[in-house]
Structures are given as structure tokens and as C-alpha cells.
Amino acid sequence: MKIGFIGLGNMGAPMAQNLLKAGHDLTVYDLSETALAQLNGAGAKIAQSAVELSSIPGMEVIITMLPASQHVRSVYLNQGGILEVVAKDVLLIDCSTIDPQTAREVAKAALSKGNPMLDAPVSGGTGGAEAGTLTFMVGGAKKDFERAQTILTTMGKNIVYCGDSGNGQVAKVANNMLLGISMVATAEAMSLGVSLGMDPKVLAGIINTSSGRCWSSEIYNPYPGVVENAPASRAYSGGFGVDLMLKDLSLATEAAKFAKQPVILGAVTQQLYQLFSSQGNGKLDFSSIINLQNK
Ligand code: NAD
């Protein structure tokens, strides 16, 4: 297929590489010359702007993987954006993590120009992007979801239809809010047990065969040395950064404000991550939040 890809960062670059490996005819655009040169070396064509990429004759699908809502708005809606020039019926897929309202607004604008659009945020991190094992949470019309299947399965393993436009983002923020809360709760329980004299491994073993068990306690325990290959056991390097978790928690609390839905633990967790990030920990793995609570 003839595919355009905009946003070649930590996630976008390996996703684009997987499309190339599958034999697609790929044209890419990013603000970074280095990112463009790398993809060019791997066989992608380069565009000098979003407009140039979007006006390529015969383009079938355009995928975007951008940092946040404002970048998605500008790349799609601003002067010099995709919607200014893209041909009718080209399928637009935004894989960025953004707020559901912006996703719905941009999809509505796209549809009014004759372009179906899907929001398809991912989970699985950079490892999943490289391995082509991402989970895609997809919102939009079912027929457009079906049209996107071949492409999404090239970059991911679980492709889940979440319902109408924006619902992919809804699924993503709800899940990541729960992850943030469960990480803080696990950190609190582990710190309490150890400060009262328990061995952390024994305590984790009990939690993980009891009712306190969750992904944060079992696979990604925040206490150093409990799970050998978790970021906690390598000084909280790699993994999913504090600032990325803070971004997702902030999207959740903003979306909750819009819906007038109380998210009390989500809001407290957002504030804990904001405090921890402001203390200079933004680049550490998000399980390092345990150090906020250590005496
Ligand atoms: P990143 O900052 O590494 O990459 C973003 C890329 O977009 C950069 O290369 C940047 O130059 C480019 N860009 C920004 N504005 C642009 C514009 N106007 N035109 C063209 N290119 C532009 O970010 P990332 O880590 O790849 O994350 C991308 C998205 O995926 C984010 O929404 C993030 O929340 C989400 N996400 C990230 C992870 C992760 O582990 N990194 C996991 C899941 C979801």
C-alpha cells in the first residue's frame, strides 16, 4: 500500500520501519532531519512537509504518531496541515496519545472533508513498537477499522475495536490511569511491609498469590530486586518514563473534568507524579514513584 507516516520519534520510527519491512511504499515526514535520514536509509521516501506528503498522488493511508494534542491539531488542522490538501477517501490514522475530545474534533473535521479517520493509540512501549507487538485501541467507524486491519497488524499484535471516534483514547486513558493508581498503591504496600520488617521478596510473593495481586506488583514490582528484569532492579532506567505517565494521568483528569466524572484516586495520583517529576525524576521509569514515599 502507499502509506504516509508523520512523526518518527521513539515510537513512530520503529513502527515505520515495520511498515517498510512488510513491503509497503512508505513516505515519511518529521521536523527532525536525523529521523528522516534514518528512515530514508531504511528505504522510505522523504517529504519536506506534511502538505507535500499529503498531496502525493495515489496515497491510500496517512498515519501520525505525534507527542500531544497540540501537535495533532497543528498537523491536521492548521494552514499547511494534512486536511488542507489530502485527497478525498484517504484513510487517516492518528496513533498519538491525546485527549478524546481533540481526537473527536479532528476526526469530525476530517470527515467533513471526505476523509475517514481513526484514533488508534497504542500500548506496549518502544519494545512493542520495535517487535511489532503493540496493542492498538481503535475508535471510529467499524468499516474504517476493517480497512485499517492489514496495516495495524503489521505494527501490532492486539488490534481492538473500541467503538466510535475518540473511544480508542478513552480506553487508553482509563487503562493508564488505573496503572498509575495501582503502581502508587503497590509502592505504598511494599514500603509499609518492608518498614515493618518484611523481606520484600517474601511480601511480594504473598501479594502475588493473594488478593492484592496486580500487574504492578507481579510483573513490574517497584521494590528493587523483587522482579529481576523490572526497571526497579536496574535503578529505574528504561521502561515507561515518569513524564509519560504524568502526561497520561493529566489526560485522564482533563477528560474527567470534561465529563464531570469524579476520579479522586486518579487526581491524587496525577498530583503525586507531578510532584515527583518537579523534583527532577521525569526521565526515570514510573515505578520509581516508590522513592517519593520512602522515609
Ligand atoms: P517522541 O517525542 O519521541 O516523537 C515525536 C516525534 O514527532 C518527534 O520525532 C518530533 O520531531 C515529531 N513531531 C513533532 N511535531 C511535529 C510536526 N509538527 N510535524 C512533524 N513531526 C513532528 O514521542 P514518542 O515517544 O514517539 O511518542 C509518540 C506518541 O506515542 C505520544 O503521544 C506518546 O504519548 C505515545 N506513546 C508513547 C509511548 C512510549 O513509550 N514512548 C508508549 C505509548 C504511547
Tens digits of per-residue pLDDT, 126-144? 989 999 999 999 999 999 9
Domain boundary among 148, 164, 180: 164
User: What percent of the chain clears pLDDT 90, i.e. is strictly above it?
Assistant: 97
For residue 295, the model assigns a pLDDT of 64
Asked if 125 and 215 sit in the same domain, the reply is no
| Cα–ligand 1 centroid distance for 290 (angstroms) | 27
Asked if 177 and 153 sit in the same domain, the reply is no
Name all residues whose Cβ lies below 6 A of ligand 1. 6-12, 29-32, 35, 65-67, 71, 74-75, 96-97, 122-123, 125-126, 240, 244, 247
Cell readout for 280 is 527532577
For residue 238, the model assigns a pLDDT of 87
| Cα–ligand 1 centroid distance for 68 (angstroms) | 7
The per-residue pLDDT of the chain, averaged, comes to 97
Asked if 226 and 140 sit in the same domain, the reply is no
Concatenating the DSSP letter of every residue in the chain gives: -EEEEE--STTHHHHHHHHHHTT-EEEEE-S-HHHHHHHHHTT-EE-SSHHHHHT-TT--EEEE--SSHHHHHHHHHSTTSHHHHPPTT-EEEE-S---HHHHHHHHHHHHHTT--EEE--EESHHHHHHHT-EEEEEES-HHHHHHHHHHHHHHEEEEEEEESTTHHHHHHHHHHHHHHHHHHHHHHHHHHHHHTT--HHHHHHHHTTSTT--HHHHTS-SSTTTSTTSGGGGTT-SSSBHHHHHHHHHHHHHHHHHHT---HHHHHHHHHHHHHIIIIITTSBGGGGHHHH--
User: What percent of the chain clears pLDDT 70, i.e. is strictly above it?
Assistant: 99
Does the pLDDT of residue 168 top 80, yes or no?
Answer: yes
Number of structural domains in the chain? 2
Label residue 287 by pLDDT band (50, 70, 90).
very high
Q: Catalytic: 260?
A: no
Asked if 148 and 204 sit in the same domain, the reply is no
For residue 157, the model assigns a pLDDT of 97
Q: Which atom of ligand 1 is nearest to the CA of 240?
A: 40
Asked if 16 and 98 sit in the same domain, the reply is yes
Mean pLDDT across 180-195: 97
Mean pLDDT across 247-269: 97
| Cα–ligand 1 centroid distance for 243 (angstroms) | 13
Asked if 180 and 126 sit in the same domain, the reply is no
Domain that holds residue 253: 170-293
Asked if 196 and 157 sit in the same domain, the reply is no
Does the pLDDT of residue 230 top 90, yes or no?
Answer: yes
Asked if 127 and 159 sit in the same domain, the reply is yes
For residue 293, the model assigns a pLDDT of 74
Does the pLDDT of residue 262 top 70, yes or no?
Answer: yes
Q: Which atom of ligand 1 is nearest to the CA of 247?
A: 34
Domain boundary among 164, 198, 231: 164
Asked if 62 and 114 sit in the same domain, the reply is yes
Mean pLDDT across 97-117: 97
Asked if 280 and 152 sit in the same domain, the reply is no
| Cα–ligand 1 centroid distance for 172 (angstroms) | 16
Among protein residues, the one with the nearest Cα to ligand 1's atom 29 is: 96
- Contact status, residue 269 vs residue 178, Cβ threshold 8 Å: no
Among protein residues, the one with the nearest Cα to ligand 1's atom 7 is: 7
Mean pLDDT across 25-34: 98
2, 21, 88, 172: the catalytic one is 172
Domain boundary among 164, 195, 227: 164
Among candidate residues 164, 193, 148, 34, the one with its CA nearest the CA of residue 104: 164
Identify the CATH number of the domain in which residue 51 sits: 3.40.50.720
For residue 211, the model assigns a pLDDT of 97
